Chain A
Amino acid sequence: MDRHMIASRQLHVAVAAFVLASASSARTAAAQPPTARFDTAQTRAYTIGALVEASRSAVSLVRGAPGSAALVARVERLLVRVDRPDVIRLPLDVLVRAPFRQGDAREASFARVARWQRRAVVPGLGAGDAADLDSLARLTVAELKFAMEGRQPPVSDDSVDIILTPYTALQRGELQVSIATSLEKLNRFERKYGPEAPRLNLAEVGLNYVAQWVPPFRPNADGWPSRFEIVASYVPSYLTIADEKARAVTVAELGLRSYLWQRGWGGAVGGILRPGYLSVGVAVAGDRDGAFVSPLRGKARVGGFIGWGETKVAVIGGDERRLLITRQMQLLPWVF
């Protein structure tokens, strides 16, 4: 057992003893510890053992209180299972970071993740341990806290705060991770909708509105944006070289845009090499080259396009094959 764990265990045994003594001797605030303010500097030292000891302190204060027998028994069963050297020596950080699975709809408490996975998702913990610790945390911070406040004489606010300090440290860590997750989510929304995102024409607005009913295109349960967007555009600005002359070619595109979420990609930061999105789909041109030539004119030339950020390349077949290149832009808002 390392130094922090021993210190943590001693602290909580002392706190429980102090609280028990003060609660049984007097109901006044005079018996309070000098301060209960949460000290963020302590939080790095906490281990899972500190959580275990906090729960043990809390349960010792409500044991024997009317109506608490089932709760106490349940918490004690959990304590027996998780109070093992290989578990309690782990830092709180492993619990803080384990439960969050970004990018899918399965964000949940670490217990639920453990049940889905049927295997350890927290380094050093088995699936059962993760579930037990999750239950222990929930029972301690809710039911045991209410029981401490509801017993006679009640445990004072300051004492409750001191006992539950490791759980406050756990929540602090969870909040820090969760804020970072939220900001990442918002970064993705900005990449897809922000000022540097490709503009849509009215047809694309309509198609992407309808696509909100199709699971791959809509945000998931916890609000992560879909990386996909439908492309349906009229592009009169493709260029090609034919007969040693540069020519414009008008192309109709139907395809899919996929946003790239990696950090450092997209916008001015990513530049040409690391764009914020790529696109792929079918390209159709009319039988004649030229800007603003209807793609439906004459016998269609069909091919495909691929976009790497703003740079797009298309190949169209037919009698007059062409290799085309253009840049993603909208010349007339909402139109093309």
Chain B
Amino acid sequence: MPIELQTQQWPAQTRRAILLVHGVGNAGPGDYLALLADVKLMLGDQADGTVIYQLWYDQVNDWFAAKTDLGDLLASAVASLRSEINDPELGEAVAETVGDVLWPVLVADARAAVREVYVAQLKQIVLDGINAGVPARRQKLSIICHSLGCFHTYEALHHIALFPSHALQPATHEVRFANVILMASPVQLIRTVADKLGSLVPNRRWLYAVQGDALSIPFEKTLTGMIVPSVRRWVSITGNLDPVGGFFFRNKAPWAYMQVAGQESRVDDQSPLNISSKQQLAQLLRDSRRTMSPPLITASNPHSWENYVRLNSGELRQWIAT
């Protein structure tokens, strides 16, 4: 079935749009309704003036899962992670949990295809805005992404800043995101593991997460040498019990925590989840795993996207509304 982009008519006077990008899952239109409700609740009276899009890319993932068996390679990636975590109580459970976000690194075509779905959806959003009479320079675009969705966001934003053919560059096409809010981002973790995997990672040249000396906010250099970043506010939110976001039982792991120059950082205190021991956290992570299916992330899981939105609703509203 061909990919269908989400297109919406922007109501009159609306200049604001949000793209929600989910993480590991098997989602399609009609899913993440609770999250959508949380986002609308967070926006409050601003919700009516905000067009909300959701990116669905699992259809593409399914193509590759059906045709590429990465069992052994993923096992070596997980083993690499386990040695990096170096924690006898948490290592195994965390490595397996985080392993779910590593597979796109290993298939160049899968990376390229998901990135293309993402970029095409961004183009459709900007076009919807222009069709409603709002030029790109006046659009207030925000992205809220979670988990593996942060990796795809990082790759897509860097790609569009580099390639004029997508008509989404920050200077030449005036597409600058007001907010990119990455929740439980595994981008640094993926960078570290990809570095450890070395030559096992195909087409590294076009894997933006491993480029340069450090992770960065994408930008375009104009003809006169001016640097125009693609993003005005780059926010990282994670929890101090969320291993995907770089915290291993309240300890920040610099090799796994995303730190981008210019980023605003928030670390949620996840004490209310009442996880009092590493064993309890490991058990919770194991319980979320399902055979042949994406993990089931409940509200008691420190990786819950809904919890991040609820816990930070005040700041989110302020960032998005202004």
Contacts and interface: CB of A to CB of B under 8 A. Distances in A.
B3 interface: yes
B135 A225 contact: no
B113 A143 contact: no
A208 B108 CA distance: 11
Interface in A118-140: 135, 137-139
A287 to B, nearest CB: 33
Given A179-B123, A202-B69, A37 B108 contact: no
A39 B133 contact: yes
- Where chain B touches its partner, the secondary structure class is helix
Contacts of B314: none
Interface residues of B, number: 52
B112 A168 contact: no
A200 B165 contact: no
A212 interface: yes
B285 interface: no
A10 interface: no
A141 B113 contact: no
A219 interface: yes
B131 A218 contact: no
B35 interface: no
B31 interface: no
A24 interface: no
A38 B130 contact: yes
Contact of B3 (A161, A175, A190, A334): A190
Contacts of B63: 189-190, 193-195, 197
Contacts of A222: 163, 165
B143 to A, nearest CB: 18
B130 A219 contact: no
Given A175-B130, A200-B68, A223 B174 contact: no
A176 B127 contact: yes
Contacts of A213: 202-203
A197 B67 contact: yes
A9 interface: no
B166 interface: yes
Given A145-B137, A161-B138, A190 B127 contact: no
Contact of B116 (A160, A189, A199, A212): A189
A263 to B, nearest CB: 12
Nearest to B3: A186
B60 A218 contact: no
A222 to B, nearest CB: 6
A1 interface: no
B173 A171 contact: yes
A205 interface: yes
Nearest to B117: A186
B194 to A, nearest CB: 14
Interface stretch (B37-45, B222-230, B266-274, B301-309): B222-230
A145 B5 CA distance: 31
Interface centre among A160, A193, A199, A218 (most CB of B within 10 A): A193
Contact of A223 (B113, B124, B127, B134): B113
Contact of B69 (A137, A171, A334): A334
Contact of A107 (B60, B119, B163): B163
A38 B172 contact: no
B135 A221 contact: no
Contacts of B30: none
A141 B173 contact: yes
A187 B4 CA distance: 11
Given A200-B67, A225-B113, A164 B5 contact: no
Contacts of B135: 38, 161, 164, 168, 171
A307 B202 CA distance: 29
B64 interface: yes
B171 interface: yes
A9 B69 CA distance: 60
Candidate in B2, B124, B130 with the most chain A CB atoms within 10 angstroms: B130
B164 A199 contact: no
Interface in A194-247: 194-195, 197, 199-200, 202, 205, 208-209, 212-213, 218-219, 221-223, 225-226
A117 interface: no
Nearest to A111: B164
B67 to A, nearest CB: 5
Interface string B194-237: 00000000110010000000000000001110101000000000
B22 interface: no
Interface in B96-152: 106-109, 112-113, 115-117, 119-120, 123-124, 126-127, 130-131, 133-138
A146 B176 CA distance: 14
A210 B135 CA distance: 45
A195 B2 CA distance: 11
Nearest to B127: A175
A174 interface: yes
Q: Name the 8 nearest CB pairs between A and B, nearest first.
A: A37-B133, A212-B202, A223-B112, A182-B120, A193-B63, A174-B167, A107-B165, A142-B171
18 contacts: A100-B165, A138-B172, A141-B174, A143-B224, A161-B138, A171-B173, A172-B130, A186-B60, A189-B60, A193-B113, A197-B67, A200-B67, A205-B69, A209-B107, A209-B202, A212-B109, A219-B108, A223-B113
Interface of B: 2-3, 5, 60, 63-64, 66-69, 73, 106-109, 112-113, 115-117, 119-120, 123-124, 126-127, 130-131, 133-138, 159, 163-167, 171-174, 202-203, 206, 222-224, 226, 228
Given A175-B127, A179-B5, A189-B112, 17 more contacts: A40-B133, A71-B224, A109-B164, A135-B223, A139-B222, A141-B173, A142-B172, A164-B137, A183-B2, A187-B2, A189-B63, A197-B63, A200-B67, A212-B202, A218-B203, A219-B109, A219-B206
